[in-house]
Chains A and B, each alone.
Chain A
Amino acid sequence: MTDMANGNLQQKSSVHTSDEARERLAKRYRAEGNFKWIGRAAIGVSVAFLLLLLSSVVSQGLPAFTFNFVSLPFEVTAEKLGTDGADQDVLKRADYDSVIRDAIRAEFPDVTSRNGKRALGGILSSGSSVYLRQQVLDDPSVITSGKKLEVPISDFADLYLKGQITSGETVDGAANLRVERQDKEYRLIADEPVFANALSKAKERLSVRVAALRKEQAGTLRSKAKLEGDIVALQERIPSETDSVVKERLETTLAKTEKDLALLLKRIEALVEKANALDGRIANKGLGETLTEEMPSSLLYIGGGVLKLTAITTNTATATPYFALAEEMSEAAKGTWQLRTLDVVEANRKFSDQEIVWTDKLVERDYVRSGINTIFFTRGASREPEMAGVLGAAIGSALTLIVTLVLAFPLGVAAAIYLEEFAPKNRWTTIIEVNINNLAAVPSIVFGLLGLAVFLNYFHLDRSAPYVGGMVLALMTLPTIIIASRAALRAVPPSIREAALGIGASRLQTVTHHVLPLAMPGILTGTIIGMAQALGETAPLLMIGMVAFVVDVPTTFSDPSTVLPVQIFMWADFPEPAFQQRTSAAIMVLLAFLIAMNAIAVVLRKRFERRW
């Protein structure tokens, strides 16, 4: 009896406990495990890309948040400006350029040539006079108080000070150095091969040239082969040609081709000769070299001055002074002089050795201060990178988004409420729904064209104004808000509506008092998504003219302005390397805006969230 019962039991349960069943179950678990791993991998890849993007933006943009300012003893006095501060007009029109010029030239009185003086002025920003004037106008008491004023350094000097122009190494002089002066040139002689390292670096650059020559030579081989082939072919054809006119033409061609070949052979010969000569020079390690701008620069710091080496051998060098020595000397002891070699050759950078020397001197004299780049946060756009700021674009973005929000949010939510709660479900509302969904997918530039055609050309509204940009973006954001709001309204359970209606609330009261508060989190999410999209839109705003070069910071909704993404787009086009950094910095500002908006959305959601 028991056996039979047992047997029956076993048979009944084998459906779920047999080996096959167990295998099937294991397969299900494996599939689930695989799915989880795929999910983790997807998240991992996304996070990796996000980190890559953020790190590249931040690493490039962070240097732009600091800037170097120079405070020379500017003669901001009553005599120079023409007033002691009482007369604003005179103050505005005073010649600040000359104040700055005089100050920088006073620091380097040895610079006498015209080009030299111009280059010297280029160490400071070209907007220095504007900057200085602003400080004086803001606080005219500095004229009498003698307070130290600052101007921004030039963009390349700033990059140099941040180490972005070139790197280099400095070594202490390894031996005594004899110094001979011949007019403007210096000759330096040592008993040990102190310049051997610099020489070998110069020779390395030569081999780069040799490689280029050999490559060019290899490129000519093809042409040579072709010419030779043509000649052979022509030489074969001519004797057998009967037509005299054709024969004459062929003979002319043959002569020309032979001449071309001769020229090519000569050129190849010249290339080979040059390359071989260079090879010879490289091989001869002891042979001195003239340091052209294609070679790594060497600067000699000796006796309080700076000399640039123009030609070197292992033990000797000739040099020109880039900064005068404090006093004449004939010998410099070992360890009292330094040799500095720069990695990037002068021809490949936009900041010359002379400018490097001047900038270093200013730092040495404690005139340079590195601080937060207030210019970036307080000024509008400029063609000069050191004077360029993001404030204009930021305010423009803020104004435009305010207009967008004020227009799109009430309209969108009201439309969603009407379509979801009040409108009859017939063919017309179906058509409207389909069209709204399609509008959400329309490329944004189409809205820009619409804005251009209707707002600017038909209604003649202001070009580049935030309120027009706001209207265009509102059109673009409306479908997003409507769709998200409808989904949020639909998600509210009908029991809430029934309860409200049963109590005697009208349709509108039901919606506004009961349904809307419960749908708010979803509506807010949709709105923030729409706003974030609008914040990053460039194309439609380009169409309505917000790409114009706007320098002033906008104050009202109708001032011409630009927005952050357009500003980033414009700066990305400018060639100066300092602008590359500012582009990344502006991207970081844009991201900060976005994070702030999302934070507001999260806070609002938490406030409205109610559990039903």
Chain B
Amino acid sequence: MSVATEILQPNVKTGKETIKMSGQKVCVHYGEKQALFDVDLNIVANQVISLIGPSGCGKSTFLRCLNRMNDTIDICNVSGQINLEGQDIYDKSIDVVELRARVGMVFQKPNPFPKSIYENVAYGPRIHGMTRSKDELDELVTSSLRRAGLWEEVKDRLDQPGTGLSGGQQQRLCIARAIATKPEVLLMDEPCSALDPIATAIIEELIDELRENFTIVIVTHSMQQAARVSQKTAFFHLGKLIEEGPTEQIFTNPHHKKTQDYITGRIG
């Protein structure tokens, strides 16, 4: 039974919000075990929505459904509908490779390719054939690195291996890599959990800037981060979406008791 209140309807309440991605009755099974139970969630364009909840509640699972990364896990079975701009992404006519170019992902642990910094960022655009000349590619790499806030630090050493950077720099490199393919949605799975507070602050600032051009879904353990960074928040518990709404409202006046308990620290 899903308890999803205050789902914003497009162009109804504010008129300015369009839905980028939505999920209807999404269920995920890992073999016999069910991890998500009938999740209905809308993701609004050009906004940051954070998914919060205790460990093992299914938020990462849901995130991975949005770009079909769960396909790589054999025993994983996804049912229900997930739409990107109205189109079901699990439809047979959808190319998963194209989907992943439009829905980018940043992982919890920074995982730059063991190639040069330039190559890391250029790889995506190259395989998707996004640029026609070397100059265009250079331009794309530069702008992606700038957007990710890494340009000043690496502009002199673009041919050095990406794995030689510090943790925070690596994560920003991964963000640059993800945005280089000009995705429409950016999924971030606890991007700051392996970073120190300063690096975290830089990335949170980044997320705010990126919001102008991208739709961002972020999974986070830190409620403070959710409060700082996102406009909408969705609270998951034991595989169910308990509550979803504007961040301020969730944190000051949650409608559901479980949400209240989690926020005040009684559960999770």
Binding site for B on A (CB under 8 A): 424-425, 495-506, 509, 513-514, 518, 610-612
Q: Which one, A425, A499, A501, A504, contacts B98 given CB within 8 A?
A: A504
Chain B contacts of A502 at CB under 8 A? Answer: 67, 69, 100, 104-105, 107, 178
- Asked if B109 is at the interface of the complex by the 8 Å CB criterion, the answer is yes
**Residues of chain A contacted by B74 (CB below 8 angstroms):** 424-425
A496-B113 in contact given A501-B72, A502-B107, A611-B163 (Cβ < 8 Å) = yes
Chain B 128-154, CB-CB to A under 8 Å as 1, else 0, gives 100000000000000000000000000
Is residue B97 contacting chain A, with contact meaning CB distance below 8 A? yes
A502-B67, A504-B181 known; A495+B114 contact, CB < 8 A: no
Residues of B within 8 A of A503 (CB): 100-101, 104, 123-124, 127, 177-178, 181
Instruction: Judge whether B107 and A495 touch: CB under 8 Å.
Output: yes
Contacts of A514 in B (CB 8 A): 113
Q: Contact check, B127 vs A499: say whether CB atoms are below 8 A apart.
A: no
**What 1/0 flags go to B108-127 for Cβ under 8 Å of A?**
01011110000000011001
Name which of A496, A504, A514, A518 has the most chain B CB atoms within 10 A of its CB: A504
- Tell me the bound Cα distance from A424 to B177 in angstroms: 30
- In the assembled complex, the Cα of A513 lies from the Cα of B97 at a distance in Å of 15
Say yes or no: B69 contacts A496, CB within 8 Å.
no
Indicate whether A501 sits within 8 Å of B114 (C-beta atoms), given known contacts A425-B74, A495-B107, A611-B163. no
Residues from chain B with Cβ under 8 Å of A424 in the complex: 74
List chain A residues, Cβ under 8 A from B101.
503-504
9 further contact pairs, Cβ within 8 A, besides A499-B112, A505-B97, A612-B163: A496-B113, A498-B107, A503-B104, A504-B97, A504-B101, A504-B124, A504-B128, A514-B113, A611-B161
20 contacts between A and B (CB under 8 A): A424-B74, A495-B107, A496-B113, A498-B72, A499-B112, A499-B113, A502-B100, A502-B104, A502-B107, A502-B178, A503-B100, A503-B101, A503-B124, A503-B127, A504-B97, A504-B128, A506-B97, A514-B113, A612-B114, A612-B163
A492 CB to closest chain B CB, in angstroms? 10
**Which residues of chain A are near B97, meaning CB under 8 Å?**
504-506
A499:B174 contact, CB within 8 angstroms: yes
Contacts of A425 in B (CB 8 A): 74
Type the 1/0 row for B80-115, where 1 means its CB is closer than 8 Å to any CB of A: 000000000000000001111100110101011110
Contacts of B161 in A (CB 8 A): 610-611
Complex CA–CA separation, A498 to B106 (angstroms): 10
Q: Name B105's closest neighbour in chain A (CB-CB).
A: A502
A24 to chain B, nearest CB (A): 39
Known: A425-B74, A501-B72. A518 touches B114 (CB 8 A): yes
| B207 to A: closest C-beta gap in Å | 17
Task: Return the chain B residue nearest A500 by Cβ.
Answer: B113
Q: In whole angstroms, what is the CA distance A30 to B114 when docked?
A: 43
Docked-complex contact B111 and A499, CB < 8 angstroms = yes
A506–B72 Cα distance when bound, in Å, is 12
Expressed in whole angstroms, the minimum distance between the Cβ of B258 and any Cβ of chain A is: 31
Q: Are B109 and A495 in contact (CB under 8 A)?
A: yes
B113/A504 in contact, CB under 8 A: no
Specify which chain A residues have a CB less than 8 angstroms from the CB of B181 in the assembled complex.
503-504
| Distance (whole angstroms) from the CB of B120 to the closest CB of chain A | 9
Closest residue of chain B to A424, judged by CB?
B74
Cβ contact within 8 Å between B114 and A498: no
- Give the residues in chain A near B72, CB-CB below 8 Å: 497-498, 501
Given that A503-B181, A504-B98 are contacting pairs, would A509 and B105 also be in contact in the complex, using a CB cutoff of 8 Å? Answer: no
Q: How far is the CA of A182 from the CA of B124 in the complex (A)?
A: 106
Q: By CB atoms of chain B within 10 A, which of A425, A495, A503, A509 has the most?
A: A503
One of B111, B124, B177, B178 near A496 (C-beta < 8 A)? B111
Q: With A and B bound together, what is the CA distance between A502 and B183 in angstroms?
A: 11
In the bound complex, what is the Cα–Cα distance between A218 and B113 (angstroms)?
86
Q: Mark B174-206, 1 if CB is under 8 A from A, else 0.
A: 100110010000000000000000000000000
Task: Give the distance in Å from the alpha carbon of A514 to the alpha carbon of B202 in the complex.
Answer: 29
- Beta-carbon contact of A504 and B127 below 8 Å: yes
Taken together as a complex, chains A and B put the C-alpha atoms of A501 and B127 apart, in Å, by 12
Closest B residue to A503 by beta carbon equals B124
For residue A489, give the distance in angstroms from its CB to the closest CB of chain B: 15
- Residue of A at shortest CB range from B75? A425
Closest-by-CB residue of A relative to B183 is A504
Q: Give, as a whole number of angstroms, the nearest-CB distance from A519 to chain B.
A: 12
Q: Which residues of B contact A610 (CB under 8 A)?
A: 114, 161
8 Å CB contact of B107 from A499, A509, A518: A499
Docked Cα-Cα span, A88 to B16, in Å, equals 99
A274 to B81, CA, bound (A): 113
User: A504: which B residues are within 8 A, CB to CB?
Assistant: 97-101, 104, 124, 127-128, 181
Which of A495, A497, A501, A611 has a CB less than 8 Å from the CB of B100?
A501
With contacts A501-B69, A503-B178, A504-B128 taken as known, whether A513 is within 8 angstroms of B123 at the C-beta atoms is: yes
User: Cα distance A495–B112 when bound, in Å?
Assistant: 9
Please measure, in the bound complex, the distance between the C-alpha atom of A500 and the C-alpha atom of B127, giving whole angstroms: 11
A104 to nearest B CB, angstroms?
Answer: 71
Distance A504 CA – B129 CA, assembled complex (angstroms)? 12
What chain B residues lie within 8 Å of A505 (beta carbons)? 97, 123-124, 127
A611 vs B111: C-alpha distance when bound (angstroms) = 12
| Min CB–CB distance B213 → chain A (angstroms) | 18
Q: Is the CB of A495 within 8 A of B111?
A: yes
Q: Mark B23-67, 1 if CB is under 8 A from A, else 0.
A: 000000000000000000000000000000000000000000001
B164: nearest chain-A partner, CB-CB: A611
A509 CA to B128 CA, complexed, in Å:
11
Q: How far, in Å, is B180 (CB) from chain A's closest CB?
A: 8
Residues of A within 8 A of B99 (CB): 504
Q: How far is the CA of A514 from the CA of B114 in the complex (A)?
A: 8
Q: What is the CA–CA distance of A496 and B123 in the complex, to the nearest angstrom?
A: 13
Distance between A183 CB and nearest chain B CB, rounded to angstroms: 94
Provide the bound-state CA to CA distance between A499 and B106, in Å: 8
A87 CB to nearest B CB, Å: 66
- Return chain B residues, CB-CB under 8 Å to A498: 69, 72, 107, 111
Smallest Cβ distance from A557 to chain B, in angstroms? 39
Q: How far is the CB of B145 from chain A (nearest CB, A)?
A: 16
Minimum distance in angstroms from B127 CB to a CB of chain A: 6
Whole-angstrom distance from the CB of B166 to the nearest CB of chain A?
16
Nearest CB on B from A421, distance (A): 10
| Contact yes or no, A611 B114, CB < 8 A | yes
Shortest beta-carbon distance, B142 to chain A, in Å?
A: 18
Complex Cα spacing A504 to B178, Å: 10
Chain B residue numbers with a CB within 8 Å of A509 are 127
Given the complex, which residues of A lie within 8 Å of B104, measured CB to CB?
A: 502-504
Minimal Cβ-Cβ distance residue in B for A610: B114
